[in-house]
Amino acid sequence: MSPLLEDRTAVVTGAASGIGRAIAHRYAEEGADVVVADIREEPRSGGLPTHESIRTETDADATYCECDVREIDDLRVAVEAADEFGGVDTMVNNAGVTGPIEPFHEASVEAYERARATLLDGVFYGSKVAATKMLTDETEGVILNVSSALGVEGYENQVAYSGMKGGVRLFTYSMAADLGPQVRVNAVLPGLTETAMSGEDAGMIDTPVEAEFWQNTPLGRTARPREIADGAVFLASDMASFVSGESLLVDGGLTNTG
């Protein structure tokens, strides 16, 4: 059986760690060369940088590109870096930050603006740059946006994060309408996932917050990054050749069973 993403090139933002790293690795395992676009090169949890581990552990090639998704020029450079491997076929807008986890009336404007710049503006910029390149090159491309289960329903103390991730879903639907039939646009929506950002930054792993998610999730646990990446492989592959403008929940049943 041929690899699902053979002869393709993906740009993955926020790919140094967590879900982005898992997506980059799974794409490489399925035959795609990868541009690892991140503001940092070293993974949060230690170990080899993503592009080096891809070269070591798979038959694919990879390169690192320093990229702050709040800067559209950085994203242009990342997409242009894909020309080393034949040009961008798949753009994964994954880079994220945690929003201010506090009641709405206590959240600072500065924290809100930081969340917006990365979670929403970064998706717009990355999609715009990649779509322009795909349309110009007449590439039948894929844009995949990483939203969140928290972007489907409102959650206490998560107004900025939920709001931005909900915006990503609507970006996805509108872009799919505008860019078809040449470019497919979809979103993957993780539930709470075991990453350093969820633990160290958000303080959600190994806390009562995580326990509450477990209690409300039919599968009874948090997600592993690779499980989110498997959904990202499906949406980028020809198995999803007639899927566009779709949101794939990978949240253990949390959203639709509460």
Active-site positions read 161
User: Which residue is it, tokens 């050749």?
Assistant: 241
Q: Which position has the token pair 């929003």?
A: 99
Quote the CA–CA distance of 252 and 243 in Å, as a whole number: 21
Half-sphere exposure of 105 (CA within 13 A, CB side): 0
* Element spanning 181, H or E: none
Say whether 184 sits in a helix, a strand or coil: strand
> Which residues lie below 8 Å from residue 114, measured CB to CB, with a gap of 6+?
97
Place of tokens 């930081």: 114
**Six-digit token string for 255:** 């959203």
Token match 């990365």: residue? Answer: 118
What tokens appear for 35 in the block?
A: 């541009």
Q: Burial letters for 206-232: b for 16+ Cβ neighbours within 10 Å, e otherwise?
A: eeebbeebeeebeeeebbebebbbebb
Tokens of 99: 């929003």
Taking CA atoms, 21 is separated from 2, 140, 143, in Å, by 23, 24, 17
